[in-house]
A and B are shown apart, each in its own frame.
Chain A
Amino acid sequence: MTWETVIGLETHVELATKTKIFCGCTTAFGGAPNTHCCPVCTGMPGTLPVLNRKVLEFAVKAGLALNCEITRYTKFDRKNYFYPDLPKAYQISQLYLPICRNGAVDIGGGKTIRIHELHMEEDAGKLVHDPWIDQTRADYNRCGVPLIEIVTEPDFRTAEEVIAYLEKLKETLQYLGVSDCKMQEGSLRCDVNLSIRPMGSDTMGTRTEMKNLNSFKAVSRAIDYEARRQAERIEEGKRVIQETRRWDENKDASFAMRSKENAQDYRYFPEPDIPPIELSEEWLQDLKDSLPELAEDKRARYQSEYGLPLYDCQMITSDKALADFFEALVDLGTAPKQASNWIMGEVLAALSARSLEAKDMPLSPKTLAKLIAMVQAGRLNRNTAVKVFEAIFDENGDPEAYAAAHGLEQVRDTALVESVVDAVLAENPKSVEDYRSGKQKAFGFLVGQVMRELKGQGDPKTVNEILRSRLS
């Protein structure tokens, strides 16, 4: 029997607002336990949530970029359950009137994934178990960090499609500036709903939900594992149980957490502390107008406008900060291909060597543009320029000053080069003889001698020209 895998995704994305969704506490990652919280986000008696309007703005931006319909009259609901990481014992979320619905994401290869809905909600805290004292402690720093949950229709058939979607989603949200989408810090988390059915069937099989997927690799492996597990069960004559499973990355396997029979009744009802929100057409239009150019638009433009190869476009747009850097270089007059070469070569290498992200790049576009211009003008050779780049990268130093201070500029002083050439010719009559009798190798030797005299900084073009005219 050949099986078809059917997958739907629920992705939680932490929004990059400075403050939390319902209070003024910072959303910064980390921090000593319970230092990024206040009476509101820890749900102390009598406190009330007040919506951070930035959250609404970010959620709508995300919805627009994912081609969703925006709900003009939206509400929050309470999702009730007891757990120590949820201090109010309910999560403020959206069920009945989510902010965005019915979107679509093109993941390439002619495939489109439909978005069922996108809603806003608050994150919970985390529990830290200390095995040494056998105690569990609650850290409420993450309580109230704003999230959007993006729910797709069951449109995926392979792990590759899922990864393509996640990459597209990550890229889009990063470009919008609504999330940094760092899976390792938990700012992008996804749950995989998966079922299988005989190829060609149009009925749905029983699905399971997989949690704790902390990397794209884990998502991919968990999908393969779960599809295989379900197929094996069915082929053994067992049935698939509707349950939530937890992926264990170390064991490369998943384990049942709870079955549907034990499913919680969340008793959703409208959140009475937050009035319904009505979006005006004017506000929406302003937001639409403010949407930045997204990666795929940039890729198309770089190809048509700058004639860059697709590979370059993909590399540069893989990170919005990098694309911004590229565009700044071009705006400063650097030739697009030169800019692209430097970014894909030296810049990425320097970032990677320092484990830096492009957004934290110390070097300014202006500095690099200046350096590239020096190469173009023949003032530095490419190899020396790379050395200068390395030297000034961390401090965003001035390439001209550095080159001058270290005597790295190429010698283009014709009089100086002429005198050195004359001296070298006088000292090497045999080579001059050889060259004139047709031995081309002798010319290379003479160039080398001149360059040695000029301590390697002679402009090759100038040296060649003068030497050739003296020998002719």
Chain B
Amino acid sequence: MNELLQCTALELGAAIRKGEVSIPEVTSLALEAAGANPNNAFITLTPEAAMARAEELQKHLADGSASSPLYGVPMAVKDNICVQDVPATCASKILGGFRPPYDATAWEQMLAGGAVSIGKTNMDEFAMGSTTETSFYGAVQNPWDTDRVPGGSSGGSAAATAARTCWYALGSDTGGSIRQPASYCGVTGVKPTYGTVSRYGLIAYASSLDQIGPLARDAADCAAILDLLQKKDPRDGTSLEMPGAGTLLQSLTGDVRGLKIGIPAECFGDGLDPQVRKAVLEVAEVLKRRGAVVQELSFPVMKYVVPTYYIIACAEASSNLSRFDGVKYGWRAEEYEGLTDLYQKTRTQGFGTEVKRRILLGTFVLSSGYYDAYYRKALQVKSLIRDAFRSAFDSCDLLLTPVAPTTAPRLGESLSDPLQMYLSDIYTVSVNLAGLPGLSMPCGQDDKGLPIGAQLIGPHFGEATLLNAAFGYQQDTDWHKKAPKGGARA
């Protein structure tokens, strides 16, 4: 593998600015690596657009106008984020043929920073899934073991970043969809504080939980990407001003002296693979050696987080996905008689099993007579979960937990038992329910050589603390530098 493909996005950006490599050169390198669509990580590759963009950026580089440390670095975009005129499928049949006439704000921010997209990455259909097996365009393989899943729903973004087909990728995280695939694929990923990255142009799964974020080689790359992404957007009513936006990268020191790290006992109990437990707790030891203070704490609401998440997410999804009805855009059933039949056939044939399951669940919990027992109750528990985090952050600065109970399962294993798959989201979903920032970083490997991820959770707007702890950890360890053997497999 070309050495350039191994370096971080920031290293490549520096080399570009120094003139050691050209943007078209590294773009064609990435396109070549992605050309045969290794691991089925991409749904759409856009080589012509990428090369044209690379040439243009290179031309402006000569004028001395590199607009960010990531200027000219090739990357990929999850296929639920709108890029003007490029198909946005959400990995669903029902969006076949849809090309958004607008850019997502997050993508505009990246464009302003000089990003070059090589294509749109594969995902679970409408981001519903934890394995990237529910895609209409086929499952994505984990580059560490192609018989295994890459995690989901941003599995294509994680696999492409891990397999070194691009330097970083944008994902979206509704219940762990950036952090869990980052963990399974051995890359670093961040789910930002809710509201700090615009959702305009992100095709919604669950509006109150969705957030766009980076998947990259390490914490510093993630900081540089977040510096571009986090900006208040007048087109998103839930958008918030991030205090100190744009200064994450420069704030990284690795100094964690006196930092109080909480370990919630409930996150290390039954159901957690002992190898994962050991690797994650070892993170605490590393940070302790750098001067952090580690303390155990109790987080009693853990047992309610998965049902609460699935009720809220499915409720919102059932409404968000109603617009896909075959009337205005995307795919429409070929034969139908009358309006109701058009709706029924289009949606029955256009959505996959998991999406339909969640639409039905969501429709049920919002139905008259069930709303109070399910949806309203879930909202009440959601506020208890927020309170639990608030009191946890009264006594500590960050929480350390696993990302997932196990390393990557085999392809096909999870689809047969959706409930088991839902339960595996236990460590990630509470972060979305509380709107907090969460980071996933590689912290070891199991006996099969599969990556293990650790999760750091911060208070609202705690990205700087989160990234600095991860940055410090990555100074002393090299799990984040490990690449799957042979990298990409076609």
Q: How far is the CA of A275 from the CA of B240 in the complex (A)?
A: 11
Whether A88 and B204, one on each chain, are in contact in the complex, defined by CB atoms closer than 8 angstroms, is: no
Contacts of B310 in A (CB 8 A): none
- Asked if B2 is at the interface (CB within 8 A of a chain A CB), the reply is no
Which residue of B has the minimal Cβ distance to A76? B237
Q: How far is the CA of A141 from the CA of B181 in the complex (A)?
A: 42
Contacts of A50 in B (CB 8 A): 234-237
Whether A48 and B237, one on each chain, are in contact in the complex, defined by CB atoms closer than 8 angstroms, is: yes
Task: Please encode chain A, from 41 to 77, with 1 for each CB lying within 8 Å of some chain B CB and 0 for all others.
Answer: 0111111111100000000000000000000000000
Of the residues B104, B322, B367, B371, contact of A46 by C-beta under 8 Å: B104
Minimal beta-carbon separation of B62 from chain A (angstroms): 35
Within 8 A of B (CB), among A69-87: 78, 80, 82, 84, 87
Of the residues A48, A80, A268, contact of B236 by C-beta under 8 Å: A48
Which residue of A has the minimal Cβ distance to B98? A45
Minimal beta-carbon separation of A119 from chain B (angstroms): 18
Given A46-B104, A84-B339, A89-B323, also A273-B238 (CB < 8 A): yes
Whether B238 and A269, one on each chain, are in contact in the complex, defined by CB atoms closer than 8 angstroms, is: no
Contacts of A275 in B (CB 8 A): 237-238
- Asked if A267 is at the interface (CB within 8 A of a chain B CB), the reply is yes
Contacts of B235 in A (CB 8 A): 48, 50
Whether A265 and B237, one on each chain, are in contact in the complex, defined by CB atoms closer than 8 angstroms, is: no
Contacts of B202 in A (CB 8 A): 46
Of the residues A82, A268, A273, contact of B237 by C-beta under 8 Å: A273
Contacts of B327 in A (CB 8 A): 84, 87, 138
Task: Please encode chain B, from 326 to 338, with 1 for each CB lying within 8 Å of some chain A CB and 0 for all others.
Answer: 0111000000000
Whether A46 and B200, one on each chain, are in contact in the complex, defined by CB atoms closer than 8 angstroms, is: yes
Q: How far is the CA of A275 from the CA of B237 in the complex (A)?
A: 7
Whether A51 and B367, one on each chain, are in contact in the complex, defined by CB atoms closer than 8 angstroms, is: no
Range of interface residues on A (Cβ < 8 Å): 20 to 34
Q: How far is the CA of A51 from the CA of B375 in the complex (A)?
A: 25
Whether B325 and A48, one on each chain, are in contact in the complex, defined by CB atoms closer than 8 angstroms, is: no
Within 8 A of A (CB), among B212-242: 234-238
Task: Please encode chain A, from 299 to 340, with 1 for each CB lying within 8 Å of some chain B CB and 0 for all others.
Answer: 000000000000000000000000000000000000000000
Which residue of A has the minimal Cβ distance to B321? A89
Contacts of A350 in B (CB 8 A): none
Contacts of A80 in B (CB 8 A): 318-319, 322, 366
Which residue of B has the minimal Cβ distance to A49? B237
Which residue of A has the minimal Cβ distance to B347? A82
Minimal beta-carbon separation of A90 from chain B (angstroms): 5
- Asked if A218 is at the interface (CB within 8 A of a chain B CB), the reply is no
Task: Please encode chain A, from 265 to 300, with 1 for each CB lying within 8 Å of some chain B CB and 0 for all others.
Answer: 101111011110000000000000000000000000
- Asked if B299 is at the interface (CB within 8 A of a chain A CB), the reply is no
Minimal beta-carbon separation of B322 from chain A (angstroms): 3
Which residue of B has the minimal Cβ distance to A271? B207
- Asked if B469 is at the interface (CB within 8 A of a chain A CB), the reply is no
Which residue of A has the minimal Cβ distance to B208? A272
Whether A272 and B82, one on each chain, are in contact in the complex, defined by CB atoms closer than 8 angstroms, is: no
Given A45-B95, A46-B204, also A267-B367 (CB < 8 A): yes
Contacts of B102 in A (CB 8 A): 39, 44, 46-47
Contacts of A43 in B (CB 8 A): 323
Contacts of B203 in A (CB 8 A): 45-46
Contacts of B238 in A (CB 8 A): 48, 272-275
Which residue of A has the minimal Cβ distance to B95? A45
Of the residues A48, A84, A272, contact of B200 by C-beta under 8 Å: A48
- Asked if B101 is at the interface (CB within 8 A of a chain A CB), the reply is yes
Q: How far is the CA of A47 from the CA of B238 in the complex (A)?
A: 13
Whether A272 and B207, one on each chain, are in contact in the complex, defined by CB atoms closer than 8 angstroms, is: yes
Q: How far is the CA of A314 from the CA of B343 in the complex (A)?
A: 53
Contacts of B191 in A (CB 8 A): none
Given A84-B327, A138-B327, also A45-B100 (CB < 8 A): yes
Q: How far is the CA of A185 from the CA of B80 in the complex (A)?
A: 40
Interface of B is mostly: loop
Minimal beta-carbon separation of B319 from chain A (angstroms): 5
Whether B100 and A78, one on each chain, are in contact in the complex, defined by CB atoms closer than 8 angstroms, is: no
- Asked if B77 is at the interface (CB within 8 A of a chain A CB), the reply is no
Whether B322 and A272, one on each chain, are in contact in the complex, defined by CB atoms closer than 8 angstroms, is: no
Q: How far is the CA of A87 from the CA of B236 in the complex (A)?
A: 19
Q: How far is the CA of A47 from the CA of B315 in the complex (A)?
A: 19
Q: How far is the CA of A42 from the CA of B102 in the complex (A)?
A: 13
Which residue of B has the minimal Cβ distance to A264? B368
Given A265-B368, A274-B237, also A90-B322 (CB < 8 A): yes
Minimal beta-carbon separation of B206 from chain A (angstroms): 8
Of the residues B80, B82, B200, B315, contact of A269 by C-beta under 8 Å: B315
Q: How far is the CA of A269 from the CA of B367 in the complex (A)?
A: 10
Which residue of A has the minimal Cβ distance to B343? A82
Of the residues A47, A78, A274, contact of B319 by C-beta under 8 Å: A78
Minimal beta-carbon separation of B325 from chain A (angstroms): 6
Whether A88 and B323, one on each chain, are in contact in the complex, defined by CB atoms closer than 8 angstroms, is: yes
Which residue of B has the minimal Cβ distance to A23? B235
Minimal beta-carbon separation of B376 from chain A (angstroms): 9
Within 8 A of A (CB), among B49-104: 80-82, 88, 90, 95, 98, 100-102, 104
Which residue of A has the minimal Cβ distance to B82? A46
Whether A45 and B323, one on each chain, are in contact in the complex, defined by CB atoms closer than 8 angstroms, is: yes
- Asked if B363 is at the interface (CB within 8 A of a chain A CB), the reply is yes
Which residue of A has the minimal Cβ distance to B238? A275
Whether A48 and B199, one on each chain, are in contact in the complex, defined by CB atoms closer than 8 angstroms, is: yes
Minimal beta-carbon separation of A341 from chain B (angstroms): 53
Minimal beta-carbon separation of A314 from chain B (angstroms): 44
Whether B339 and A269, one on each chain, are in contact in the complex, defined by CB atoms closer than 8 angstroms, is: no
Which of A49, A50, A272 has its CB near the most chain B CB atoms (within 10 A)? Answer: A272
- Asked if B124 is at the interface (CB within 8 A of a chain A CB), the reply is no
- Asked if B173 is at the interface (CB within 8 A of a chain A CB), the reply is no
Q: How far is the CA of A89 from the CA of B347 in the complex (A)?
A: 13
Whether B319 and A265, one on each chain, are in contact in the complex, defined by CB atoms closer than 8 angstroms, is: no
Contacts of A89 in B (CB 8 A): 319, 322-323, 325
- Asked if B463 is at the interface (CB within 8 A of a chain A CB), the reply is no
Whether A44 and B329, one on each chain, are in contact in the complex, defined by CB atoms closer than 8 angstroms, is: yes
Whether B367 and A44, one on each chain, are in contact in the complex, defined by CB atoms closer than 8 angstroms, is: no
Which residue of A has the minimal Cβ distance to B324? A45
Of the residues B204, B237, B324, B329, contact of A51 by C-beta under 8 Å: B237
Contacts of A273 in B (CB 8 A): 207, 237-238
Q: How far is the CA of A43 from the CA of B329 in the complex (A)?
A: 11
Given A39-B102, A267-B367, A272-B207, also A46-B201 (CB < 8 A): yes
Beyond A49-B237, A50-B235, A268-B366, 18 extra complex contacts between A and B, CB < 8 Å:
A43-B323, A44-B102, A44-B329, A45-B82, A45-B90, A45-B100, A46-B88, A46-B104, A47-B102, A48-B236, A50-B236, A87-B328, A88-B323, A89-B323, A89-B325, A90-B319, A265-B368, A273-B238
The chain A residues found within 8 Å of chain B, CB to CB, are: 39, 42-51, 78, 80, 82, 84, 87-90, 138, 265, 267-270, 272-275
Closest 5 interchain pairs by CB? A89-B322, A267-B366, A272-B208, A272-B207, A46-B201
9 contacts between A and B (CB under 8 A): A43-B323, A45-B100, A46-B199, A46-B201, A48-B199, A49-B237, A138-B327, A272-B208, A272-B238
